[in-house]
Amino acid sequence: MNKPLRRVAIFCGLLVLALLIRDNWLQYVRADELNAHPRNKRVQIERYANERGNIIVDGKPITGSADSQDPYYKFKRTYTDGPMWAPVTGYASQAYDANQIEKIEDGILTGNDDRLFFDRTMSMFTGDKKKGGNVVTTLSGAAQKAAFEGLGNNTGAVVAIEPKTGKILALASTPSYDPSSFAGYSAKDEKAWVALEEDKKNKPKLNRALREIYPPGSVFKVVTAAAALENGKVTDIDAPTDTPEPYNLPTTRVPMKNHARGCENASLNQAMKVSCNSVFAKLGDEVGRDKMVEMAEKFGFNAEQFTPVRSAASVYDKKADRPGNALSSIGQFNTATSPLQMAMVTAAIANDGKLMKPYMIDKLESPNVDVIKQNEPEEMSRPVSAETAQKLQQMMETVVSEGTGTKADVKMDGVKVGGKTGTAQHGEKNAKRPYAWFISYAKTDQGSPVAVAVIVEDSEGTNREDISGGGLAGPIARDVMKAVLKSRS
């Protein structure tokens, strides 16, 4: 071979080698990246080429699939009672992707998960259409309905947990949205999506139960009481606490304002019953910032939670000075929490000090309903001893039987209810309408089947002076607890 031909041959060989390297790079190294690329329409088209598996509550699907009449995307997602279940399911949209359970378990629901390889292979031989698997939730339809209807036109959220297992029984957020309204790829779907995106005032797509954190106000006092008991600052809940009236914040001349009477030298039990700010601010200072942080973090503060949907991290300030820590101890200053977090606190107390990891997916099923994965209860921590938990229960039950939480009593034979009210001030100089909180649990001789946290962020038609945790949020918690108790009787 002469020299010019050899050079041409070598050059052509290098081109072929480069092509092979490039081809292998694209097909193997970057395969996952390109498959997930938002501009890869083939992935989206394949995703909606078959009926999607369902999300199940109480043995029944709350989702479905319908012919979308689109030349590319054959099926679109449908939802039963979409606004009620949106905080649980999230959405699956041909145009706007998916979120929450619809996104996290997309592989199971579409049938593309590697664990469904056998089902896909068998369908090739049998000629059956490809199907997605199912996601079976821990949710209670009765509890969810009570929570959603209880919130009504108010802005707020409800979380209910089974204390013994950590199973989430209700997860409601209002105002909400209908995921069906933008599940397709039409101009109508686009209009619905844009309207939701532009509603900055109501934020209907915001999952307030998981993704919003609020000042907890007086419901946080149960955490402060737990810290005081665990650290030996209080041993007898009925003994005087040596709290002056007025009580000045430590190192200041700023008096702590009480909205209740009888707080001077009140016992811990009495202070919980009428919600004395001074007693809990003083105890928080005596416990000290570091021990308060430690207790809050044992309950789950300062860390994201995964249900498996991610929840925003609740906050207890690790760097607060003494006055700031005292205010933090009554749920003000920089303290902020999600409704899920306060439900976790309540569930741990109701479960004699054992905090179970919250979760809302019970199991994953194949298209022929074989179980692919079964989730089991998992202990997360033990924030307090059983003795401390029982003292907290005693105080919380007094709140409902004699104190600020009487409207939350379910009044059912053999059932005791413990709770704590909270009215959280916020905004510059506390100028905004306060948040109404209520946390509670119901207890029978078999233990506690449900713990609830409710926040009413804004109540339609309610005067500022009439906003209270016991008055607004308490009845919602009561109805959710009743729904769970009745469903198990």
Domains of the chain, start order: 214-359+379-487 (3.40.710.10)
By CB neighbour count within 10 A (0-12 exposed, 13-18 middle, 19+ buried), where does 363 fall?
middle
Task: Annotate 450-479 with b (16+ C-beta within 10 A) or e (fewer).
Answer: bbbbbbbbbbeebeeeebbbbbbbbebbbb
pLDDT at 128: 63
List beta partners, residue 440. Answer: 419, 452
Residue type at position 304: E
DSSP 8-state code for residue 139: -
pLDDT at 225: 98
Catalytic residues: 218
Q: What is the pLDDT along the chain (489 residues), one digit of tens a residue?
A: 577 777 777 778 888 888 888 777 767 666 666 666 656 666 677 777 788 999 999 999 999 999 888 777 889 999 999 999 999 999 999 999 999 999 999 999 999 888 876 666 666 556 567 788 999 999 999 999 999 999 999 999 999 999 999 999 999 999 999 999 999 999 999 999 999 999 999 999 999 999 999 999 999 999 999 999 999 999 999 999 999 999 999 999 999 999 888 999 999 999 999 999 999 999 999 999 999 999 999 999 999 999 999 999 999 999 999 999 999 999 999 999 999 999 999 999 999 999 999 999 999 999 988 899 999 999 999 999 999 999 999 999 999 999 989 999 999 999 999 999 998 765 444 545 678 999 999 999 999 999 999 999 965 554 433 345 567 899 999 999 999 999 987
What is the edge-to-edge ordering of all strands in the sheet holding 155-161?
A: 168-174, 155-161, 447-458, 435-444, 416-424
Residue 409 has φ and ψ, to the nearest 5°, of -70, 125
Q: Which residue has the tokens 């109480």?
A: 58
417, 397 contact by CB (below 8 A)? yes
Q: pTM here? A: 0.89
Nearest to 212 by CA among 312, 104, 354: 312
